[in-house]
């Protein structure tokens, strides 16, 4: 670090002492504990009156800024004035007001203050950098300031870990799309975007690409659609530091929907095709006794069996009934039963309509439009009171967004996308006898996932529920 000579703390009687009084408060709580802006200013002014010579001072105040970084407005101005030698002294009420980082504190003193012949004084600790002892004390105290910051960080992490284990959201930023954070309850609460999240899964399972989903639902980019699709928060799970915990918040989509979407995602992605499942029915099979998912499990050299997750401990959150007595069944038997059922379906069965009406995409777009119109009315009310040009820009942006939604609604109503997807799946079924043996496993899974809603295994019987 740079070295230089240092001026005396007590200046000559004719010398003008220019003091930069630095003040910082990061939170309201610090203000309550005696570190308020006014308290610091009062102590600093009182100290300046004890100095000899003609004294002038200026306050450099960072209100609401952490001491963990030097990226603070007043601190940057202080550094610039120090380098320009516009001041002779820098005073703080307490050392940690300057910085809580040992590295930053020593950088300021050794690389900025001392080379520019500026004395640094901390009132609370009663030292100054005019002496070698004072500089040594600065280093020691900075170490303790850094230690306290690290202790606060560790305590915060420990508290967040306990919250997550109890099912509460850890807090902080990064609230998932489709949720708001209820500060009083400490949990996530579905908001008006929850319908959009449901549509992401519904459209994906219907065959839409992620880019098409983003365009249709007005999401900013494909990556956001992907993040929504893959996020386990949507099924009530909190992923914290690589560990999954059962959250207390309400799921937006069912576990069944999520698992089907994950199975389809593994098929579509190149990575999923090379490293994902090679089993035909992964993500579609459920236990008829307890309702839990069933998984493929290697059974020696004989092949694979289907095992209820309630009888496994690898994923506790998937357990429905620890006492489930459903038997394991050979996966090959269930696969053969499904293939035979698909092959034997008649044209009338393929053409029959499912009794359940699919979720209307147009309805979701209409709800988004209604929310935008409500926001637009509020903007007009504000604009009528203030005549603000910024508000006018926001009004124009909202108006354009509503026009885009209107176009999407008209397109959706005219194209009948839901009907087209259903008919495409049925067309595949009509040709299955001719095409099945020529498909690879991923193409077969694609077809099965597009037409099968779920397969339920109860002891030695199997039930197949079709989507159409």
CB 89 within 8 A of CB 17: yes
Structure tokens of 123? Answer: 């009132």
Distances (CA, A) of 456 to 285, 306, 466: 6, 11, 12
CB contact set of 64 (below 8 Å; sequence gap of 6+): 25, 26, 27
CA 364: distance to chain centroid? 23
Maximum Cα interatomic distance, the chain, rounded to a whole number of Å: 107
CB contact set of 24 (below 8 Å; sequence gap of 6+): 40, 61, 62, 63, 65, 67, 72, 74, 75, 97, 98
- Rounded to 5 degrees, what angle do the CA atoms 45, 51, 54 make? 90
CA distance 394 to 159: 40
Provide the 10 A C-beta neighbour count for residue 188.
Answer: 23
CA distance 347 to 337: 19
Q: Which of 404, 454, 416 is nearest to 218 (CA)?
A: 404
Strands 187-190 and 179-182: antiparallel
Catalytic residue among 26, 122, 142, 226: 26
CA distance 169 to 157: 13
Provide the 10 A C-beta neighbour count for residue 236.
Answer: 21
In what order do the strands lie in the sheet containing 285-287?
285-287, 452-458, 461-466
CA distance 106 to 112: 9
Structure tokens of 113? Answer: 């203050």
What is the number of residues in the chain?
Answer: 468
CA distance 136 to 99: 17
CB 229 within 8 A of CB 261: yes
How many Cα neighbours within 13 Å face the side chain of 347? Answer: 0
Provide the 10 A C-beta neighbour count for residue 387.
Answer: 9
Check if 26 is active-site. Answer: yes
CA distance 436 to 442: 12
Distances (CA, A) of 381 to 238, 303, 385, 400: 40, 69, 7, 18
Provide the 10 A C-beta neighbour count for residue 257.
Answer: 18
Residues designated as active site: 26
């Amino acid at each position: 670090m740079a070295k230089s000579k240092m001026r005396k703390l007590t200046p000559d009687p004719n010398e003008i002492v220019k003091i930069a009084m630095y003040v910082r408060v990061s939170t309201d709580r610090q203000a309550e504990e005696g570190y308020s802006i006014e308290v610091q200013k009062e102590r600093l002014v009182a100290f300046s009156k004890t100095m000899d010579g003609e004294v002038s001072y200026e306050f450099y105040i960072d209100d609401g800024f952490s001491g963990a970084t030097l990226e603070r407005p007043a601190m940057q101005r202080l550094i610039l004035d120090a380098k320009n030698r516009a001041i002779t002294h820098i005073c703080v009420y307490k050392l940690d007001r300057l910085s809580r980082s040992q590295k930053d504190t020593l950088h300021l003193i050794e690389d900025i203050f001392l080379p520019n012949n500026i004395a640094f004084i901390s009132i609370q600790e009663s030292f100054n950098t005019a002496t070698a002892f004072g500089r040594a004390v600065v280093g020691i105290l900075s170490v303790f300031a850094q230690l306290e910051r690290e202790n606060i960080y560790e305590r915060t992490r420990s508290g967040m870990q306990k919250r997550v284990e109890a099912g509460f959201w850890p807090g902080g930023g990064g609230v998932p799309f489709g949720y708001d954070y209820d500060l009083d309850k400490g949990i996530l609460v579905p908001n008006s975007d929850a319908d959009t999240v449901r549509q992401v899964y519904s459209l994906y399972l219907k065959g839409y690409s992620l880019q098409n989903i983003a365009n249709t639902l007005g999401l900013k980019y494909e990556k956001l659609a992907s993040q929504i699709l893959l996020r386990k928060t949507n099924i009530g799970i909190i992923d914290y530091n690589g560990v999954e915990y059962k959250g207390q918040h309400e799921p937006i989509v069912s576990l069944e929907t999520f698992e089907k979407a994950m199975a389809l995602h593994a098929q579509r992605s190149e990575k999923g095709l090379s490293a994902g499942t090679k089993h035909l029915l992964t993500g579609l099979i459920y236990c008829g006794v307890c309702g839990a998912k069933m998984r493929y499990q290697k059974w020696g050299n004989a092949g694979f069996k289907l095992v209820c997750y309630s009888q496994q401990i690898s994923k506790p959150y998937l357990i429905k009934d620890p006492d489930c007595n459903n038997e394991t069944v050979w996966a090959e038997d269930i696969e053969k039963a499904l293939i035979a059922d698909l092959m034997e379906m008649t044209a009338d069965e393929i053409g029959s309509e499912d009794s359940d009406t699919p979720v209307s995409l147009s309805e979701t777009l209409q709800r988004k439009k209604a929310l935008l119109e409500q926001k637009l009315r509020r903007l007009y009310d504000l604009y009528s009171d203030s005549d603000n040009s910024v508000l006018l820009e926001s009004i124009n942006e909202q108006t354009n967004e509503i026009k885009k939604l209107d176009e999407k609604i008209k397109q959706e109503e005219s194209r009948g996308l839901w009907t087209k997807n259903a008919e495409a799946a049925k067309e595949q079924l009509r040709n299955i006898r001719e095409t099945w043996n020529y498909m690879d496993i991923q193409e077969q899974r694609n077809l099965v996932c597009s037409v099968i809603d779920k397969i339920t295994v109860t002891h030695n019987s199997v039930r197949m529920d079709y989507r159409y």
